[in-house]
Structure 1
Amino acid sequence: METKNKEYVEFLENKIVIAEEYGFEPDGIIGDLLPHAKAITQWCLKGGRRAIFASFGLTKTVMQLELAYQCIRKENKPFLICMPLGVVGEFKRDNKEFFHSELDLEYITDTDSISSYDVKIYVTNYERVRKGDIDPSKFCGVSFDEASILRNLSTETTSYVLTFFKKIQYRFVATATPTPNDYIEILNYADFLGVIDRGHALTRFFKRDSTTAGNLTLYENKEQEFWQWVSTWAVFINKPSDLGFSDEGYNLPKLHIHEIEVEYLTDNVILNKKGEPVLFKDNTKSLVDVSREKSETVELRVNKALEIVSKEPDKNWILWHHRESERTAIEKKFKSFDLRSVYGSQKNQDKEDLLIGFSNGKYKVLSTKPVIAGSGCNFQHVCHNMVFVGIDYKFNDFIQALHRVFRFRQVNEVHVYIIYTQNEREVLKTLFEKWRNHVKLQENMINLVRKYGLNSSKITHDMKRQIFNGRRSHKVGDAMVYNDDTVVIHQEMEDNRTGMILTSIPFGDHYEYSDNYNDFGHNNGNQEFFKQMDYLTPNLLRTLKPGRIAAIHIKDRIRYSYQTGTGFTSIEDFAADVSYHFRKHGFILVGKITITTDVVRENNQTYRLGWSEQRKDGTKMGVGLPEYVYLFRKIPTDRSNAYADDPVVKKIDEYLLSLWQLDAHAYWKSNGNRFLSYDELKTFEPSTICNMWKEFDKTHVYNFQEHLRVCNDLMESGRLSKEFMMIPPTSSNDLVWTDINRMNTLNANQANRKKEKHICPLQLDIIERLINRFTNQGDTVDDPFGGLFSTAYMSLKMKRKAVSTELKPEYYDDGLFYLKSLEYELSMPTLFDMIDYETK
């Protein structure tokens, strides 16, 4: 990438996100670790905050013990391992086998009894952590074993746990199965480990649904970079050979999945979701119907489980269920078997004793729930048969439970029986689809592990290739457009070239518009965003004619509770930051234009203005966010009269006194007359009401009570939309624009052409007004963030010249299409042209 500023290139390269190292180089390995475990442990210790996503049976327990011993040796301070119930025995057994009891493990329920001199490994379960009984300040390090169990806790509890333990210096997580495509889980691990801020990661890798809050999807062009980044702080491994070691002793047995469908017939009338009688049940989407099906078929499924187990009564079995009614039915039907149940209301110690007892072969049949014993317990040496007495949509619980016996060191073929009714076929289909996604996710990660190993430097080198280096340009009529980094283009532009700057700048780190590090949205927070703007804005000032206007379209930013830690949504005054930035670089702020937006649509996107929440606590709700156009001026050469070097002149017959008053006046309304009555409102279509209200509001003095009355009448008649604001406040003042057509963008054409829509398009109404007000015909209008080249499009239409830069190739191509279409349209002779030609 050629540029006049090598410092800028270095700035871009520093955007590459890799996990920093917070640890130390260990002085030898303490335990009898296998080669793959040694390599992973050394990598974790050097990083200090790392994740081990290793398949079942790859000695994650031993690795965590080694991490604990090493951190204790380094810091002379206790280490904590948090784990699910029933796993303590596994750690104690591995501690004796691999470390020859160098230190005893001590199980604790709280930290009050620990003195600063007890330098040892402490273990506890997540229930104790959840209750706040564990003080993290006692420990030099912590490891979360089977960390995926955290997803079974409430969101508030998970946030509390992760935040509570982020104070510890060395942090590790270990689990075999991050949920397929549950990227939030992976981001939670990264946030806890301190390798990235979750808000930064969300912005960097995920596109947001502009109509639904919280609906995130990984950018297709970011998938490779995302997993490369994850590989700098987490190791995925299915078997030792993934890291180049021998797989001796690591061959999985054959797995037999038995799908057992039982027929559930009823004499009751079957109703669909609308209450209409149907021939067959449809449980494809309704969780309520799925739950009802499970309740009605307990006896049927338990009887089938008894039939299966009775064929091989001398074998050990695990019966997985989800409901207490299923447990009691199993205990009743299996009275002749040596069966024990582990369930939620038991004391934790009793649960652990029973689980350890089964793993030691003290009884034949274990009946429990995946949420209780599905994580951490190793039963492969005692059992190879299991029955899922029922199924649900929770794939992680299913796969974890299955791998209690289907894991390395299992010497027998594994048989898994899945019992379901004919009405639960869709549930089973969904479960298997998630399984396929899980395998695909693992394959993607393992391929990266095989390519890079544990070498973060090599990953970083490959990621540097994402700095843009493929300039294209095209001249369409009087518009010159570029596919390149806008900083580079403006570094090359001559002084005092443009008559106006008109652009919608990226909203800090809110969106990433392209997959290049040059992207201004590709920054870690607003501070880094404005650092990149520091390379652009001085060039905007330099290239703008003295006295002319830079019109900057901006909007304040919503900050969610997870970003601020306040527990509620707040507003970041991004417009103020933009104002400070431009003024810092020599621009003078001369005006602010407010553009109102639809509060109903905004709430549908953010959920921060909810009607129900407002009724619970009015202090929680703010107001809708308008957009702004800030007007900055470059100081003219001659300051005696403050005129621009090249003034924008208005003719008296074009710019009337009445228009000037509306341009210059503030936004103020008071009392007025009524709108349509309740009975009248019922007779009109919503679109008609919208148009009539806008006309009424413009021509009558404003009355808030009348406005509220109309809204109430619309609500009572069932015509008040929840999708958009039907009768918004309007303004005839040029400082507050309430009549902007939100759909009047080139995005509408994008939708028609089935092309990717721009994330934040600028309305053509806004562009037209600004160009008309602040430029002369023949002036060059500069849009440094071109998008679909909307500004260049309107500039050509209004007989101006244009220069525009867009980084994203897809937007550049689509924008070029619109400009060429407009060029063809403008070049076509009109009827009057033809008449004029005939008379010559």
Structure 2
Amino acid sequence: MESYSDFLNHKDIVVKACGFEVNRNDLNPMLYDFQKDIVRFALMKGRSAIFAECGLGKTPMQLEWANHVASHTGKPVLILAPLAVAAQTQREGYKFHIPVTICETRDDVKPGVNITNYEKMEHFVADDFSGVVLDESSILKSFTSKTRYALIDMWAKTPYKLCCTATPAPNDHMELGNHSEFLGIMTRAEMLAMYFVHDGSRTSQWRLKGHAVDVFWQWMASWSVMITNPIDLGYHEHGYDLPNLHIHEIIVDGDEPVHEELSLTERRQARKDSLELRCQRAADLVNNSDEQWICWCDLNNESKTLTDDIPDAVEVKGSDKDTHKKKAMLDFANSDVRALVTKPKIAGFGMNWQSCHNMVFVGLSDSFEAYYQAVRRCYRFGQEHEVHVYIIISAKEGCVKENIERKQDDALVMQHEMLKYTKEITKKELRKTSRLYTPYNPTVEMKLPNWEEFVA
């Protein structure tokens, strides 16, 4: 009887390359060596993902990838990005001498690299483009199923695809299936059936089959690059050290959090009851400082109250016009706004805010992904100061900080597993694409023997 290992070995688990090769010397000289090799890997694969930690240069890598795809195919490439990231990406394009066109509709598209917001995707036609990039592709998890499947369906026939994110799933292997399905490599259902086993009664609980661990990560490394630091993959670049991260928990109505299990409704009520106290403590932190602050909210009333309590605060809420949202977020990036009040689901993806190293959460959703991404707006490579994160809660909300730290530990375990299994495979994949070939230009005519003489 065939073993499960034999069954997996009969499967074509290594994704075949469908891209094209580019000489390393033809890549942008402003890229670091590890960035050049990752771009070459992605171009050779044709459909791939770059899972690189915040601050490792995903924007210049995706711009270089898009630029070469557009040049190779003679058709434009479209980058889909979160709101306000388009202008930031265009600015990065200027730095790397890659023109980037910001588009509102199909009529704005020009040859080369184009960029628009995810929300405007319906104004474009996939057949117009030879390639598509999902910037901050972990946003696939935040989208509704309808939007996620619209993304997958719309770009199903696009020959070149690239997903870029710092964390595809900080504590959930299954979300890797969203990327695989979008790229056309394997559907999420197929991935779960092949490599995972259902663990328990809740459909969200899946774990890797013990005897499928090696082949799963081999499969992952055949279409994606995972990197938290260049040294992971044997590169020795300077400047990739993170400062200390300090997480402070402030309880406004007690000394210790209540340890009893509360329902979601009870926790929400506790947050509403303590709203004024939490906002006042947050405002005191911001008002007693002359440094930049981000105030993350979860409820509309929290956002309004904080904005009222902080004299120079700029609020960005969901109902605001896109022009205000983009201006406020870019002004904050340029240090023209001292205190920004908003929600992680509005501004938690894509923005580079290393200028700020203080943030306060006056409300937290149950999404660790949202928290992680919000913190990473400031806590990223390039940050020169220690980062302070304040979580202000009611005692009735329970052990919020403890819960976050548990999920953080789970994320680090998964990250460690990813790197442990993929590091050597990825090194080999990158070495394949980093070889330089010397063109052979023959100067002497080859003369073949007369084989008829030997037969005779």
TM-score, reference length from structure 2:
0.88
Structure with max Cα Rg: 1
| Contact 1:83–1:125, Cα closer than 8 Å, also in 2 | yes
Q: Counterpart in 1 of 2:72?
A: 74
Paired position in structure 2 for 1:122:
114
Partner of 1:426: 399
- Counterparts of 2:45 and 2:70, CA distance in 1: 16
Helix, strand or coil: the match of 2:261?
coil
In structure 1, the partner of 2:451 is none
Aligned residue for 1:22? Answer: 18
Query: Secondary structure of the residue that 2:399 maps to in structure 1?
Result: helix
Q: Does 1:107 align with 2:81?
A: no
- The 3 A distance-change label for structure 1 pair 250 and 387 is same
Change (3 A) 1:113 1:85: closer
The alpha-carbon deviation at position 302 of structure 1 amounts to 0.6
* Alpha-carbon distance, 1:161 to partner: 1.2
User: AA paired with 1:18?
Assistant: V
2:305 aligned with 1:332: no
Q: CA deviation at 1:349?
A: 1.9
Where 2:95 maps in the other structure, the secondary structure is helix
User: How many equivalent residue pairs?
Assistant: 427
Structure 2 CA distance for partners of 1:212 and 1:360, relative to 1, 3 Å: closer
Q: Which residue is equivalent to 1:291?
A: 268
SS in 2 for 1:251: coil
**How many Å apart are 1:142 and its aligned residue?**
0.6
Relative to structure 1, the CA distance from residue 368 to residue 286 in structure 2 (aligned partners, 3 Å threshold; closer, same or farther) is same
Please show how residues 270-309 of structure 1 align to structure 2 within 5 Å. Answer: 284-309=261-286
Percent identity of paired positions between Structure 1 and Structure 2: 35
Offset at 1:197?
3.2
Q: Deviations over 1:699-725 (max 9, x none)?
A: xxxxxxxxxxxxxxxxxxxxxxxxxxx
Q: Which residue of 2 aligns with 1:173?
A: 163
Counterpart CA distance in 2 for 1:300 and 1:388 is 13
Contact 1:391 1:419 in 2 (8 A): no
1:244 aligns with 2:227: no
Check whether the contact 1:251–1:408 (CA below 8 A) recurs between aligned residues.
yes
**Contact 2:140–2:178 (Cα < 8 Å) also in 1:** no
Q: Please, which of 40, 54, 57 is the counterpart of residue 59 of structure 1? A: 57
How big is each residue's C-alpha offset from its partner over 1:337-372, in whole Å with a ceiling of 9 and x where there is no partner?
x21111111111221111001111112111111111
What CA distance in whole angstroms lies between the structure 2 residues aligned with 1:20 and 1:179? 24
Which position in structure 1 is the counterpart of 2:180?
190
The answer on 1:360 being equivalent to 2:334 is: yes
Question: Residues 522-561 of structure 1: matches in 2 within 5 Å?
Answer: none
Whole-angstrom distance in 2 between the partners of 1:84 and 1:213: 29
Partner of 2:292: 316
Structure 1 residue 383, shift from structure 2 partner? 0.9
Q: 1:184 to 1:13 in 2, by over 3 A?
A: closer
Gaps of 5+ in 2: 433-456
The 5-angstrom pairing of residues 452-531 of structure 1 reads 452-456=425-429
SS in 2 for 1:217: strand
> 1:346-745 alignment to 2 at 5 Å?
346-380=320-354, 382-456=355-429
For the pair 1:146 / 2:146, whether they are aligned, the reply is no
Q: Given the alignment of the two structures, is residue 205 of structure 1 paired with residue 195 of structure 2, yes or no?
A: yes
- Distance 1:143-1:285 versus aligned 2 partners, 3 A rule: farther
Aligned amino acid, residue 182 of structure 2: F
Counterparts of 2:248 and 2:430, CA distance in 1:
46
Question: Contact conserved, 1:284 with 1:426, CA < 8 A, in 2?
Answer: no
The CA distance in 2 between the partners of 1:210 and 1:407, in whole Å, is 36
| Residue of structure 1 aligned with 2:125, choices 110, 135, 142 | 135
- Distance, in Å, in 1 between the alignment partners of 2:165 and 2:78 is 16
**Aligned CA distance change for structure 1 residues 84 and 67 (closer, same or farther; 3 Å):** same
Residue 342 of structure 1: which of 304, 316, 328 is its match? Answer: 316
Residue equivalent to 2:442: none
Does the 8 A contact of 2:87 with 2:102 survive in 1? no
Cα deviations across residues 398-443 of structure 1 (Å, max 9, x unaligned)?
Answer: 1111111111111111111111121223333222211101111111
Contact 1:235/1:454, CA 8 A, preserved across alignment: no
1:160 is matched with which residue? Answer: 150
**Amino acid paired to 1:369:** K
Q: Is the 8 A contact 2:360 2:391 kept in 1?
A: yes
Displacement of 1:19? 1.4
The answer as to whether partners of 2:198 and 2:205 remain within 8 angstroms in 1 is yes
Once residues 66 and 436 of structure 1 are traced to their aligned partners in structure 2, the CA distance between those partners, rounded to angstroms, is 34
- Runs (5+) with no aligned partner, structure 1: 3-8, 266-279, 460-840
Which of the numbers 208, 212, 216 marks the counterpart of 1:218?
208
Residue deviations 1:649-674 (CA, integer Å, cap 9, x gap): xxxxxxxxxxxxxxxxxxxxxxxxxx
Pair 16,421 (structure 1): closer, same or farther in 2 beyond 3 Å = same
Q: 1:11 to 1:340 in 2, by over 3 A?
A: closer
Deviations 1:752-800 (A, max 9, x none): xxxxxxxxxxxxxxxxxxxxxxxxxxxxxxxxxxxxxxxxxxxxxxxxx
Structure 1 residue identity aligned to 2:128: K
- In 2, distance between residues paired with 1:427 and 1:392? 10
Take 1:46 and 1:356, find their aligned partners in 2: how far apart are those partners? 34
CA gap 1:37/1:423 in 2 versus in 1, 3 angstroms? same
Q: Secondary structure at the match of 1:444?
A: helix
Contact persistence 1:253–1:411 (CA under 8 A): yes
Cα pair 2:258 2:395 within 8 Å, conserved: no
Could you tell me how far 1:214 is from its partner in structure 2?
6.0
Conservation of the 8 A alpha-carbon contact between 2:38 and 2:430: no
In structure 1, the partner of 2:436 is: none
Q: Which amino acid aligns with 2:391?
A: I
Q: Which amino acid aligns with 1:300?
A: L
**Larger RCO (CA within 8 A; separation ≥ 6):** 2
Query: Tell me, what secondary structure is at the counterpart of 1:180?
Result: coil
User: Structure 1 residues 260 and 407 mapped into 2: Cα distance closer, same or farther (>3 Å)?
Assistant: same
